[in-house]
Chains A and B, each alone.
Chain A
Amino acid sequence: MGWAIALHGGAGDIPLSLPPERREPREAALRHCLQVGVEALKAQRTPLDVVELVVRELENHPNFNAGRGSVLTTKGSVEMEACIMDNTKRCGAVSGLSTVVNAISLARLVMEKTPHIYLAFDGAEAFAKEQGVETVDASKFITPENIERLKQAKEANRVQIDYTQPNQTDPTKEKPTADGGGQIGTVGCVAVDGKGNSATATSTGGLVNKMVGRIGDTPVIGAGTYANSYCAVSATGKGESIIRATVARDVAALMEYKGLSLKEAAAYVVEECTPKGTCGLVAVSATGEVTMPFNTTGMFRACATEDGYSEIAIWPPSTQK
């Protein structure tokens, strides 16, 4: 037993042909965030602090679909959501944020400063003001890449959720910004200390071209985010499938009710409970194991354990260059 940490920057149809200029900044970001998390664990910060701090870093990075860099709604606006939970089952969630720089930190404040678990839209923004968290003009979250993604999604007249559908845009005409990124969903981090305390945090801008007001799996406890005395899980992919399969909760339930190991439980949920191309997750167990399964083309991910193992990857191990 020892500490362990895993983080993701989204599962999806990440093409193997992703050019270096799109791949390297994200790999560097994963490396940086992993280091931030590992150092915090070594410094004995609680898992709750660690996951919040790592997700804040991921939110601030414009190449992932959370915080700055969030994908856009059908109206071209940003609506962010996030969720945090620890092994005592305390949790907090937020949806519909448009000015809060770090949604994950607001989720934590909901958990610690209110008698509630979940606040959304105007009410959440009002709470943010009350709490004095950092807010900026909504336009600050919007990046040129995401404006382009929205344009392409509208042209293809689809909400980019079905990774198994043939890509309707002509690949030769595909602009450099369309790096399969419409399918990049969500960031997250899970961590466990050497004493079995664990936590999970997930944050996202949601789906490209989503309807205004659409809520995904991220803030739904048990769907995209869950932790209890067995494990901590953060999922990513097609929200509607993750909700239906109560992915995060099921990993823990399989461990508890069927005695499966973390790896077995997570693999089962990803392979058997969600359609191909819709789901990936990172999870740690109370005993310090870590797993990062996905059924999509790729998942931006990184992990490390106290005994010295570490990994940063995008595609499945057999295809990793």
Chain B
Amino acid sequence: MGGWSIAVHGGAGVDPNLPLQRQEAAKLLLTRCLNLGISALRYSLPAIDVVELVVRELETDPLFNSGRGSALTEKGTAEMEASIMDGPKRRCGAVSGLTTVKNPISLARLVMDKSPHSYLAFSGAEEFARKQGVELVDNDYFITEENLGMLKLAKEANAIVFDYRIPAKGLETCSAGAGTMETALLMNGLPINAYAPETVGCVVVDSQGRCAAATSTGGLMNKMSGRIGDSPLIGSGTYACEVCAVSCTGEGEAIIRGTLARDVAALMEYKDLPLQEAVDYVIKHRLDGGQAGMIAVSNTGEVAYAYNTNAMFRACATEDGFTEVGIWE
């Protein structure tokens, strides 16, 4: 008990046919980011600094759905969002609708530290970014060939696979070719093979028991421009307080409805559940059929994760030497 802990994730919901090479690349990246965090913790950097620097690394690498490598809107552009929360005083910062900011998580941090607000979005956020002098790039920088391909798949899938909540617009004219979908695995209404590796996040408790969480994403593939998911919403995709820090990934709408991240902390605070139990309970009972995963740490140095998807890209480590990098069960 006590000591630092760190967990990192690259998304819940993985294509079971993901080529081995891609799986290895993902594990290498997770390991690299984990080690970055561990070094920082050994240098006594506070939790809030560690989560930011780890997520920056994940954003910069195009492998996962954040920063470079973000999933694309229906228009083929990248529109990114992120949030960060510092447990001790529950300070928080969030951003949405970013199109030129190289590291969204750092802008979220600046919103927390340098603005009178908690959440800035779209052109207002971009203007703040300019004033703060953060690194800006063209939107093209974030777009990968891979994701352009995924977008095409998603658009094709949407012509056949539809979300039961939307009234069937034009379905009368569609020749219901659902038989062409090989896999029955769906996430966010898309077949899993059109589902890119996902949102990234990091949670840390440092050796002083301070917890922090950070989450960053490009959002849903083929999303409507302007759609905001769970990642920038405090209490849904991200949360940190005195007792724990949580970062979630998966079906954004389900995570929001379940206020997943806050619920873990609420169960610990109000029902005295230990970390892993709280995490398991939330995944089991708060998703109402939705699919998601999360990583979490407690102020006593524990680390936990859970998911009800087929898999989740994750890595974690504790000061007493425990390390794990995994994708599948």
Which A residues contact B (CB, under 8 angstroms)?
89-91, 93, 95-96, 113-124, 126-127, 159, 161, 210-216, 220-223, 226, 239-240, 243-246, 249-250, 253-254, 257-258
- In the complex, the answer to whether B253 meets A213 with C-beta atoms within 8 Å is no
> CA separation between A158 and B266, bound complex, in Å?
34
Is B105's CB within 8 Å of the partner chain A?
A: no
- Cα of A236 to Cα of B251 in the assembled complex, Å: 29
Q: Could you say which of B227, B235, B253, B263 contacts A223, with CB atoms under 8 Å apart?
A: B235
Besides the contacts A115-B166, A213-B125, A214-B124, what 18 more A-B pairs have beta carbons closer than 8 Å?
A: A91-B256, A114-B166, A115-B163, A116-B253, A117-B253, A120-B96, A120-B97, A120-B122, A122-B225, A127-B224, A159-B116, A211-B115, A211-B116, A222-B233, A223-B235, A239-B117, A244-B92, A257-B270
Can you list 20 residue pairs at the A/B interface with Cβ under 8 Å? Answer: A95-B121, A113-B167, A117-B253, A119-B224, A120-B228, A121-B122, A121-B123, A122-B226, A126-B225, A127-B226, A211-B120, A215-B118, A216-B119, A222-B259, A223-B234, A244-B118, A245-B90, A253-B270, A254-B270, A258-B270
When C-beta atoms are compared, the residue in chain B nearest to A213 turns out to be B124
A124 and chain B: residue at smallest CB distance: B226
Q: Does B109 contact A (CB under 8 A)?
A: no
Chain B interface mostly:
mixed
Residues of B within 8 A of A96 (CB): 121-122
Query: What are the residues of chain B within 8 A of A212 when measuring CB–CB?
Result: 123-124, 127
CA distance A240 to B253 in the complex (A): 23
Number of interface residues of B (CB under 8 A): 51
Once A221-B257, A222-B262, A253-B263 are accepted as A-B contacts, the answer to whether A215 and B119 lie under 8 Å apart by CB is: yes
B22 at the A interface (CB under 8 A): no
Contact of B122 among A115, A122, A221, A249 (CB under 8 A): A122
In the bound complex, CA of A115 to CA of B94 (Å): 23
Q: Which residue of B lies closest to A241 (CB)?
A: B118
What residues of chain B lie closer than 8 Å to A161, measured between beta carbons?
A: 116
Contact of A121 among B90, B97, B118 (CB under 8 A): B97
The answer, yes or no, to whether B91 is at the interface (CB within 8 Å) is yes
CA distance A285 to B97 in the complex (A): 36
Q: How far is the CA of A257 from the CA of B267 in the complex (A)?
A: 7
Partner of B227, one of A113, A118, A210, A253: A118
Q: Give chain B interface residues in 235-293, CB to chain A under 8 Å.
A: 235-236, 239, 252-253, 256-259, 262-263, 266-267, 270-271, 288
Q: Decide if B119 touches A243 in the complex (CB within 8 Å).
A: yes
